């Protein structure tokens, strides 16, 4: 494992450290909470297929673009676009948009992450028969309780980010990612011993192609951007700490495959678990419409009931481990969301990391508290900053790279750590995707998303 000299701005300590940190950013609530719910909501394997296509033909090329811009400029998203703007006033706006999305997405992300922590306690209280306490911490509508857990999670995120790139982010994600995979596999192995799990697996892998329509494609693309942490400069920021020896295309491929893999594996846990819950008498589908009951809160409504039905120490262990898993996955993502605005404040306003992290973290904390109390607002934040904001960021990144900075310059940067890439067939295909296919597809999806939101 190559060790790189740490510059004053910070760099990843090793190739594996970077890949795990970027994969840690990608793997989060989006994979374990978002993906399985979307699959169940959208016709099982048909959604998986469209999602895979979105990740491979749009997500992967955009991820290469973000990492390349980051490494070329060694700057936060605003600084990066300024550095490559040739004095154009509009180009840095792409970076500012990323910083805004980072703050806003993190604000609701910490609320949901707070729920995962609250449910660790819910499972414990239930086991020890402290029913009132269990109901209290498990109440998603209790603003005061939500705010406490949100702030707790925010502080955890800030503490990791104050540690810096290699000693904070890299060290924590390197430790947490293998733990996370281990827990996931153990839970899956156990779930398949329970009644109903195989019905879930059948639904998961049995495609219903009749469900493929415009809305499904939009959901799949939005999910791909969110899950791969694209469109707001998180990977520009992580790329800015990369050294010139690292092969960008290879790293992006590992991160993409890792993220898809964990989402598919998480589905193997959550969807069978839903059917186990159903076998235990919990209603998960609306008998009239056939749609899932309350998608957003599904994991928090259905799974605890399943853990309670299993009962005893096993039920407790399953429940606690699942919500710890979800919390850990969320933490490795929330640090990357916070790192975007923090790196901006450090680089552009010359403020020390510790102060920057607490400053930005406090702003996010305040918005998070508002969302903890008014949880209905979360849906609006998801619509604006996630469903529209990230694809919009991705579109601007493609257009900027393809037509302003020019793909030849990007390829020149990619040559470091990957000699010969600029004359390879891969680079021709990548250019076609970045200049034409990805922006056209994203634009189509965006137009219809905005249309849907407005109508
Ligand atoms: N990829 C994370 C998830 O799947 O939960 C969420 C996320 C992290 C989105 C970082 C955007 C981002 F920049």
201 - beta bridge partners?
Answer: none
Backbone torsions φ then ψ of 24, nearest 5 degrees:
-65, -40
236 CA distance to ligand 1 centroid (A)?
Answer: 13
Distance 194 CA to ligand 1 centre (A): 32
Question: What DSSP string describes 124-167?
Answer: HHHHTT-HHHHHHHT-TT-HHHHHHHHHHHHHHHHHHHHT-III
Please tell me if the CB atom of residue 76 comes closer than 6 angstroms to any atom of ligand 1: no
Atom number in ligand 1 closest to CA 26 = 1
Query: Which pLDDT belongs to residue 293?
Result: 67
Residue with CA nearest ligand 1 atom 11: 229
Output the pTM of the full model: 0.93
- Residue 295 pLDDT class (50, 70, 90 cuts): low
The answer to whether 319 and 12 are in contact (CB under 8 A) is no
pLDDT at residue 5, as a whole number: 37
pLDDT digits (tens, 9 = 90+) for 94-117: 999 999 999 999 999 999 999 999
Of 1, 55, 3, 421, the residue nearest 257 (C-alpha): 55
Q: How many CA atoms lie within 13 A of 420 on its CB side?
A: 2
Distance CA 297, CA 99 (A): 27
Query: Residue 296 — pLDDT band, cuts 50, 70, 90?
Result: low
Q: What is the pLDDT of residues 19-34, one digit of tens each?
A: 999 999 999 999 998 9
The string of pLDDT tens digits covering residues 407-422 is 999 999 999 999 999 9
How far apart CA 271 and CA 45 sit, in angstroms, is 12
User: What phi and psi, each to the nearest 5 degrees, are found at residue 66?
Assistant: -65, -45
Distance (Å, whole) CA 113 – CA 35: 16
Q: Is the CB of 258 under 6 A from ligand 1?
A: no
Pocket lining: 231 vs ligand 1, CB cutoff 6 Å:
no
Which whole number is the average pLDDT over 381-390?
90
Distance 87 CA to ligand 1 centre (A): 31
Per DSSP, the three-state class of 290 is coil
CB of 25 closer than 6 A to ligand 1? yes
Confidence at residue 52, expressed as pLDDT on a 0 to 100 scale? 96
Q: How far is the CA of 336 from the centre of ligand 1 (A)?
A: 8
Q: Is the CB of 26 under 6 A from ligand 1?
A: yes
Compute the average pLDDT of residues 438-446: 93
Q: Nearest Cα to 32, choosing from 231, 303, 218, 239?
A: 303
**Looking at residue 431, what is its pLDDT?**
97
Q: Identify the band that residue 285 occupies on the pLDDT scale cut at 50, 70 and 90.
A: confident
Digit-coded pLDDT (tens) for 160-218: 999 988 888 898 888 888 888 998 999 999 999 999 999 999 989 988 888 888 878 88
pLDDT tens digit string along 246-281?
999 999 999 999 999 999 999 999 999 888 888 888
Summary mean pLDDT of the chain:
92
For residues 364 and 375, the answer to whether their CB atoms sit within 8 Å is: no
Report d(CA 324, CA 307) in Å as an integer.
Answer: 14
Q: Give the dihedral sign, CA 392/396/398/399.
A: positive
213 exposure class (CB count in 10 Å sphere: 0-12, 13-18, 19+): exposed
CA of 285 to the centre of ligand 1 (A): 28
For ligand 1, is residue 29 a contact (CB within 6 Å)? Answer: yes
* Choice among 32-36, 50-54, 389-393 with the minimum mean pLDDT: 32-36
Q: How confident is the model at residue 1 (pLDDT cuts 50, 70, 90)?
A: very low
> Is the CATH number of domain 15-454 3.40.1440?
no
> Residue with the nearest Cα to atom 9 of ligand 1?
229
Pocket test for ligand 1, best of 35, 230, 337 (most atoms within 8 A of CB): 337
């Amino acid at each position: 494992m190559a060790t790189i000299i740490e510059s004053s701005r910070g760099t990843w300590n090793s190739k594996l450290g970077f890949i795990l940190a970027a994969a840690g950013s990608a793997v989060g609530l989006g994979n374990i909470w978002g993906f399985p719910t979307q699959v169940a909501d959208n016709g099982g394997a048909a959604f998986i297929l469209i999602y895979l296509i979105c990740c491979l033909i749009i997500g992967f090329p955009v991820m290469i673009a973000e990492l390349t811009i980051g490494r070329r400029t060694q700057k936060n998203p605003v600084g990066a676009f300024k550095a490559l703007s040739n004095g154009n006033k509009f180009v840095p706006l792409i970076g500012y948009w990323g910083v805004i999305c980072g703050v806003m997405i993190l604000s609701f992300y910490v609320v949901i992450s707070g729920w995962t922590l609250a449910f660790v306690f819910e499972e414990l209280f239930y086991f020890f028969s402290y029913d009132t306490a269990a109901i209290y911490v498990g109440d998603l509508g209790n603003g005061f309780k939500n705010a406490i857990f949100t702030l707790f999670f925010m502080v955890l995120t800030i503490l990791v980010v104050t540690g810096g790139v290699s000693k904070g982010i890299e060290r924590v994600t390197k430790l947490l990612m293998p733990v996370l995979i281990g827990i996931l596999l153990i839970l899956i192995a156990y779930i398949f011993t329970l009644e109903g799990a195989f019905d879930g697996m059948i639904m998961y892998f049995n495609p219903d192609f009749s469900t493929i329509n415009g809305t499904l494609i939009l959901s799949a693309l939005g999910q791909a951007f969110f899950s791969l942490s694209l469109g707001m400069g998180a990977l520009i920021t992580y790329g800015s700490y990369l050294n010139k020896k690292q092969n960008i295309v290879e790293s992006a491929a590992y991160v993409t495959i890792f993220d898809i893999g964990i989402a598919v594996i998480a589905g193997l846990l959550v969807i069978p678990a839903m059917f186990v819950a159903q076998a235990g008498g919990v209603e998960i589908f609306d008998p009239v419409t056939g749609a899932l009951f309350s998608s957003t809160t599904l994991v928090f409504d259905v799974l605890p009931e399943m853990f309670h039905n299993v009962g005893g120490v096993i039920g407790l262990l399953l429940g606690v481990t699942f919500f710890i898993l979800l919390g850990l996955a969320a933490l490795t993502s929330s640090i990357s969301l916070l790192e975007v605005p923090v790196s901006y404040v450090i680089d552009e306003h010359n403020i020390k990391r510790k102060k920057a992290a607490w400053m930005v973290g406090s702003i996010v904390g305040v918005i998070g508290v508002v969302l903890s109390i008014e949880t209905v607002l979360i849906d609006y934040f998801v619509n604006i900053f996630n469903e529209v904001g990230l694809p919009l960021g991705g579109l601007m990144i493609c257009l900027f790279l393809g037509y302003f900075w020019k793909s030849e310059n990007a390829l020149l940067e990619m040559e470091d750590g990957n000699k010969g890439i600029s004359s390879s067939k891969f680079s021709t295909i990548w250019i076609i995707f970045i200049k034409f296919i990805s922006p056209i597809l994203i634009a189509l999806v965006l137009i219809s998303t905005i249309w849907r939101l407005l109508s």
